[in-house]
Structure 1
Amino acid sequence: MRLFVALPLPEDARARLAALQSGVPGARWVDRDNLHVTLRFVGETDRHGAEELDAGLGSIRAPAFGLTLAGVGFFDRGRYAHTLWAGVEKPEPVAFLRDKIESVVVRAGLEPERRKFSAHVTLARLDDVPSVRLGPYIETRHGFSAGPYPMTRFTLFESRRGGDGVHYEPLAEYPLSGIT
């Protein structure tokens, strides 16, 4: 099982994000139904590992919050971009939740995440496009903003590859309580 923990997005947020998905030749755009904010990629695990993770995630207590999407950008390796993303405005509540999830994942025996957390929604994957070629895309979409959207739960997903692409299957949902 290939697992990850994420914030699912409501349909209106996914529609707004899907409107950003054009204008970059060769981009592999993420399917609209798969748009989400990844909190922790877990990777391959067996049924027992998934059950242990589920129990730990179920013990997390964190407040609900409003999520506002803002801006677009890219992750790169040197001069080459590999991921286009939409950002999260005021990501502190997302980072707070992510830190709680990270503690659970490490207690379940997985290695700690070494990369710095950056709250975002992946819009597309790129095959090492020179970063300078993304200037026009970024410039025409830099003012993007959508939300706030109420985040009242987070989800454990399984990533399944099929003949028609990748599908994310929700395995368990965990409530966030209260409003901040």
Structure 2
Amino acid sequence: MVRTFISIDLPDNIKDNLYEIEENINIDGIKLVKRDNLHITLKFIGEVSQIKIDEIIQNLFNICFKPFKLKIESLGAFPTKKNARIVWIGAKGDDIFPLVDSIETELKRLKFKTDERFHPHITIARVKKQNKDIKDRIKKFLDDNHNIEIGSVLVDNFRLKKSTLTGKGPIYETIKEFKME
């Protein structure tokens, strides 16, 4: 079984800018996402067999889109700023939603569950410890940097990726790239 997801990879300049933001977090109890693992998740699929991966690839080839731009800006947290478990930066642009809808449609044909909510974002940190001091420091960091602007990304492809969990964090590998036209 292979742990899989569909994502948009980020160009190096955006990863560099995001990494600078991460370095400023500097709060105990927070695990930063490694620079090379920064991405926009379009759909988490989960554990699937190689046969199912082949079916997913076939269905994803049905998706056609023109390239579009996303603005990378605005810090936030899930589930809330006061009780952050995930610290993220937004990926804004309406053109991402038809792409996600098409991915959901193609995967639904293979009997995958549809995600009800999609919030385009890049996870930059995960909160591993919870106490009042950590919560307050995270909220202050988010409030102080809420309106941050990182830049724009031209999206002309998406990828089916494999995630291997290790003691040092996940390792992501591209299974297949799908170019937009």
Shorter-chain TM-score above 0.5: yes
Change (3 A) 1:153 1:78: closer
Candidates 58, 70, 77, aligned match of 1:74: 77
User: What is aligned with 2:86?
Assistant: 83
Report the secondary structure of 1:110's partner residue: coil
Distance 2:153 2:114 in 1: 29
Per the alignment, residue 52 of structure 1 pairs with 55
The answer for unaligned runs of 5 or more in structure 1 is none
Match of 1:144 among 137, 145, 148: 148
SS in 2 for 1:162: coil
Contact residue 80 and residue 128 of structure 1 kept, 8 A:
no
Does residue 62 (structure 1) correspond to residue 103 (structure 2)? The answer is: no
Report the Cα offset of residue 128 of structure 1. 6.0
Give runs of aligned pairs for residues 20-169 of structure 1, distance below 5 A: 20-21=21-22, 22-76=25-79, 79-90=82-93, 92-114=94-116, 116-127=117-128, 129=130, 131-169=135-173
Deviation at 1:79, TM superposition (A): 5.0
8 Å contact from structure 2 (residues 68, 154) kept in 1: yes
Residue identity (%): 27
Q: CA RMSD in A?
A: 1.8
Name structure 2 gaps, 5 residues minimum: none
Q: Secondary structure at the match of 1:102?
A: helix
> What letter is aligned with 1:172?
K
- Cα distance, 1:75 vs. partner? 0.5
Listed one character per residue, the Cα deviations across residues 12-49 of structure 1 (whole Å, up to 9, x for unaligned) are: 11111111112332111111100000000000000011
Structure (1 or 2) with the greater strand fraction: 1
Output one character per residue of 1:78-126: Cα deviation in whole Å (capped at 9) or x when no partner: 9521100001223x11111111101111111111223x11000001111
TM-score (norm 2): 0.89
SS in 2 for 1:20: helix
Amino acid at match of 2:108: V
**Structure 2 residue identity aligned to 1:3:** T
Q: Distance in 1 between matches of 2:69 and 2:80?
A: 32
Distance 1:157 1:109, change over 3 A: same
Range with bigger deviation, 128-137 or 22-31: 128-137
Q: Residues 163 and 58 of structure 1: is their aligned pair in 2 closer, same or farther, counting only changes over 3 Å? A: same
Q: TM-score normalised to the size of structure 1?
A: 0.90
Which structure 1 residue ranges, 4+ long, deviate > 6 Å from structure 2?
none
